[in-house]
Chain A
Amino acid sequence: MRLSAIRQHGFGHLGVKVNKQIIYTMSAFEQNPIKGVVRKGFPNMIRRTRESFFVVAIPALLAYMAYDWGVTTQARLDRKDPKMYENDV
């Protein structure tokens, strides 16, 4: 953080020097904020999910398997072994 930069350019204008600015606008009558939200948005969601699915699901599955093993093993160690008392009268 350079204080001289902040004093010179002002907070909010600290980056590159702006030479040109091209502003694209649309008429308010042409704008629909939810345009394409189902027709384009839903397929896009499917695409993004498919691209990331295995990268997330495989570690999650491994973690769940480890958790399940830990919980069942500890539960087994907390109990008496029924086979030791099979022949009890």
Chain B
Amino acid sequence: MMLRKNPLINLFIGSFYRLPAPININYLWNGGSLIGTFMVIQVLTGLFLSMHYCGNTLMAFYSVNHIMRDVSGGWIMRYIHANGASFFLAFIFMHIGRNLYYKTYYRKGAWMVGIVLLILSMLTAFLGYVLPWGQMSFWGATVITNFVTAIPVWGETIVNWLWGGFSVDNPTLNRFYTFHFLFPFLIIALSIVHLFFIHQTGSSNPLGNFSDNMKLDFWPYYGVKDILGMFLSLFFFLLLVGFSPDYFGDAENFLKANPMVTPVHIKPEWYFLFAYAILRCIPNKKLGVLALVFSIVVFFFFIFSKKKVLPSLGYRLVFWIWAMNFIMLTWLGGCPVKDIFIFMAQISSFIYFFFLFLLMVI
């Protein structure tokens, strides 16, 4: 009882130890804690990498090589950080997918903050990918930052301001390093706001019904379940890091950035491929950029859909068609620019937006 008088301990007890959680939440509700786990892993490994990394075009690529070859444990820090980003975003996609499936976007505050977190995470991942200053880092940065020129009238001025010059060069790398260091702290702060919103009502549950009379204490039930989820995901994560750490990497990034040599196939990491496919399939540059931005911004519109109702069979079928289409868009984003793949990407992009609209209205 004396412990409960201390406001910090009371906060810990109220929001973790004795937090009321619905009795029937399944393993898909592990997503939040898994994202948090990988957030901590990324911050810690990133901290160690930043002790040896040099954010200058003359040194960046060689400093990463130095980390890999000379720094004690540097290779595993780098591989954990690079693959950790993949797992971090994979769990974010799973988390958003679960919220779409169980229609928990009726909680407007948590949903809006969550989409902002998605945008910040994708931005952070993009900034981080530029830092090794390999071929794909440089050319990926060039392609993505050039989208800003689609802004009418001021596009060129804004992109030159963003670059700190007339192309992606040292000032760009330097400021990308600064923002890649800063944004995770914004993500952590917004995650706390996200939790504030969720803890106002408590977690949702798979049946979508009122669960205030069917609660369990978070600890030990969901605490231990979350720890199990962490162990399982860390097992697969360390399998990847230990046996195939370059699986999600691109061979072009083993070459130092060369502004005079454009890679044959410029493509981003897998978590951006769905948006990349949508961008590439539209012949008009401005419309392509608009579609790319709208593919993420569209999620904000879910707050206008009608209040939650248990997902019907039709809703579930639409969801799974959309989800399989999302996987296909991801595959198409990695395909070379050939007629058949562009045609398929155009159909898939239409299905992406149309079926998201259906999810909002069904």
Contact = CB atoms under 8 A, between A and B. Distances in A.
Contact of A70 (B193, B196, B344): B344
Contacts, number: 70
A73 to B, nearest CB: 5
Interface in A48-86: 52, 55-56, 58-60, 62-63, 66-67, 70, 73-74, 77
Contacts of B14: 10-13
Interface stretch (B126-134, B164-172, B315-323): B315-323
A14 B199 contact: yes
Nearest to B313: A55
B358 to A, nearest CB: 13
Contact of A67 (B109, B193, B201, B331): B331
B15 A63 contact: no
Contacts of A5: 200
A1 interface: yes
Interface residues of A, number: 25
A59 B328 CA distance: 11
Contact of A6 (B196, B317, B320, B324): B196
Given A63-B324, A66-B328, A67-B328, A11 B344 contact: no
Given A1-B109, A77-B340, A12 B13 contact: yes
Contacts of B328: 63, 66-67
Interface in B170-206: 193, 196-197, 199-202
Interface of B: 10-11, 13-16, 18-20, 109, 193, 196-197, 199-202, 212, 313, 316-317, 320-321, 323-325, 327-328, 331, 338-341, 344
Given A1-B109, A67-B328, A11 B199 contact: yes
A36 interface: no
A38 B193 CA distance: 41
Q: State the majority secondary structure of interface residues on A.
A: helix
B267 to A, nearest CB: 17
A55 B18 CA distance: 37
B289 to A, nearest CB: 25
A73 B340 contact: yes
A15 B212 contact: yes
A77 B95 CA distance: 40
B109 A12 contact: no
A28 interface: no
A37 interface: no
11 contacts: A1-B109, A1-B193, A1-B200, A12-B15, A56-B320, A58-B320, A59-B320, A62-B321, A66-B328, A70-B344, A73-B340
Contacts of B10: 10
Contacts of B316: 52, 55
Contact of A12 (B19, B317, B325, B331): B19
A5 to B, nearest CB: 7
B193 to A, nearest CB: 7
A46 interface: no
A71 to B, nearest CB: 9
Counting chain B CB atoms within 10 Å of each CB, the highest count among A15, A63, A74 belongs to A63
B196 A11 contact: yes
A89 to B, nearest CB: 33
Contacts of B321: 59, 62
A78 to B, nearest CB: 8
